Chain A
Amino acid sequence: MIELRNVSLKYGEKEILKKVSLTVCDNTIKAILGPSGVGKSTILKLMLGLIKPNSGQVLVDDTDITPLKESALYGIRRKMGMVFQGNALFDSLTISQNLGFFLRENMNLPEEEVNRRVTEQIQFAGLEGYEDQLPESLSGGMRRRVAIGRALIFKPHMILFDEPTAGLDPVSSKKILSLISSLRHHNNLGAVIVTHIIDDVFNVADSVAVLYQGEIIFDDVTEKLHESKHQFIQSILSDKILEL
């Protein structure tokens, strides 16, 4: 479980988050919806402890991670897998090296176990035959699947997606979304999906929080989004995509 309690964050004079509170339960898919530049990626980075809030607490499985040092955070981060907005694959490594990279780096696993897990992810992500290719030679959707595989390889119990369908064609988007919803059924995984595309929310999310001008203006099950009277939510429901 991940919980933000009254989290505020400023970059210089610019207030990005104003007392944001948010809970993500295990085994559910939670979407965070908001326009570009509102601070969605920032929220994911806060959850991982990559950045610290100016005030408030971030709790991961009931541990407050805000006062923790980097070395103490490594163990906690391994409970979560992160899929970055631009995938953040290592462009000088092949697909299977990318997948196995952090297992080799941070776990003292025997090489056979590493290879076994890499093969498992290759199959799960449907990347057979591309093991020895570099990321740049793959399509956007495939690269996204490699990034998802890399996040899953530690067997986390929560996975964080930063704009999983942004920049993908509709077919690839659909594939990624079905991959995401299959995660919960097969692996009992919780997920946070940050997005500015409202279709993503309706396709996979159990509940959704809407972030607008630094504040959470809606936080409930997805179906209730239609009942919201908030002007911003009404406008995004009619426009489908937030391009603000």
Chain B
Amino acid sequence: MGSENEKPTFTRMKTGESTVIASHRMQFMPSAVILILGKKLVLQLKDFFLTMQEFFFFSLKAFMAFPKMIRYWRDVLDQATICGTDSIPIVLVSAISIGALLAIEVGNLLEDFGAKTMLGRSTALSIIRELGPLLMGLMLSARFGSRNGAELGAMQISEQIDALRAFGTDPIAKLVMPRLLAALIMFLPLTALSDFAGLQSAAYMADHYHKIDPGIFWNAVYPRLVAKDFVVGFLKAPVFAIIITLVSCFNGFSARGGTAGVGRSTIKGIVVSSGLVLIANFYVSKIVLENM
């Protein structure tokens, strides 16, 4: 019955053949393009979610390997030196320059309002809550993240990671867990250092550039700081540690295709982790400041 109903429709279409074909031609191009683009999009989305799933399990395994920290304490120490001690210069340089700039610019601004005595407070807040941890995070993402991406990527393409597995060693416990733990431990003191250096350089600039007495500057800093300010700032350290280490290590582990592949995966690790650090910075501030 159904087919009999369809037949007349078909013939009717045939009678208006020329118009059908004309309109069909006009629609053909865009619809084919949309179809191809759509297919591509679906494939990419599928790829994206597969990668996300892999990343999730990778992260889970890294955390589950924490009990093995006793066995790999040497690797943890090595990594703590690399991401902690060795990163001190770059963190100091960036914190000092931003602290100084902030003091000069904000000082100029406050001067217009005749509120120069507030310089200590405003720089302290922006450094401790935002700039100290953020700069530390970005610097470490470049320094520690690139090192992880390149080192693990090179190990991946030279089959060293396969070799670990082939001989019965869990590469995530051996390579990723120590990096994650070291970052979790070291990022806190690095944040403190970044805050301290930034504030000191701001105080120096306030004194020498704006002629604000250090006593007045620090008086506007210490008594006004509350627990919340430190929570916002220091909560970022472990969040950044997790983001930077896991993203860069994951990209290193996924390196494919020779030395160019290592380059690609290293770049991807840095770009993604820096982006995520910026996003996380915003959300940690928002969530803590709204809820405390």
Contacts and interface: CB of A to CB of B under 8 A. Distances in A.
- Residue in B159, B162, B167, B170 whose Cβ sees the most chain A Cβ within 10 Å: B167
Contact of B159 (A75, A77, A84, A106): A84
B170 A102 contact: no
A50 B162 contact: yes
A97 to B, nearest CB: 13
Interface string A47-58: 010100000000
17 contacts: A45-B162, A48-B165, A48-B166, A50-B162, A82-B163, A82-B166, A84-B162, A84-B166, A85-B159, A86-B158, A88-B158, A88-B160, A102-B168, A102-B169, A105-B167, A106-B167, A154-B167
B169 A105 contact: yes
A63 B159 CA distance: 26
Nearest to A156: B167
Interface string B23-46: 000000000000000000000000
Nearest to A90: B160
Nearest to B157: A86
A80 B162 CA distance: 14
Interface residues of B, number: 12
Contact of B165 (A50, A75, A85, A90): A50
B170 A70 contact: yes
B153 to A, nearest CB: 14
A103 B127 CA distance: 49
A74 interface: yes
Contact of B168 (A78, A86, A91): A78
Interface of A: 45, 48, 50, 70, 74-75, 77-78, 82, 84-86, 88-91, 102, 105-106, 150, 154
Contacts of B167: 77-78, 82, 102, 105-106, 150, 154
A88 B168 contact: no
B188 to A, nearest CB: 28
User: Top 7 A-B pairs ranked by shortest CB distance?
Assistant: A74-B168, A88-B163, A88-B159, A102-B167, A82-B166, A84-B159, A106-B168
Interface string B62-106: 000000000000000000000000000000000000000000000
Nearest to A151: B167
Given A48-B166, A50-B162, A86-B158, 15 more contacts: A50-B166, A70-B170, A74-B168, A78-B167, A82-B163, A82-B167, A85-B159, A90-B160, A91-B158, A91-B160, A102-B167, A105-B168, A105-B169, A106-B169, A150-B167
A74 B162 CA distance: 12
A89 B162 CA distance: 11
A106 B162 CA distance: 16
A138 to B, nearest CB: 15
Nearest to B61: A70
A86 B162 CA distance: 12
A102 B160 CA distance: 13
A86 B169 contact: no
A74 B170 CA distance: 9
A77 B166 contact: yes
Nearest to A153: B167
Contacts of A77: 165-168
Contacts of A45: 162
Contacts of B158: 86, 88, 91
B181 to A, nearest CB: 18
B162 A88 contact: yes
B76 to A, nearest CB: 16
Contacts of A86: 158-159
Contacts of A78: 167-168
B45 to A, nearest CB: 15
A227 B170 CA distance: 46
A100 to B, nearest CB: 12
Contacts of A91: 158, 160
A42 to B, nearest CB: 12
Interface string B145-172: 0000000000000111011011111100
B244 to A, nearest CB: 22
A105 B159 CA distance: 18
A84 B169 CA distance: 16
Contacts of B170: 70
B255 to A, nearest CB: 14
Interface string B216-260: 000000000000000000000000000000000000000000000
Nearest to B169: A105
Contacts of A70: 165, 170
Contacts of B166: 48, 50, 77, 82, 84
Contacts of B174: 105
B258 to A, nearest CB: 11
Contacts of B165: 48, 50, 70, 77
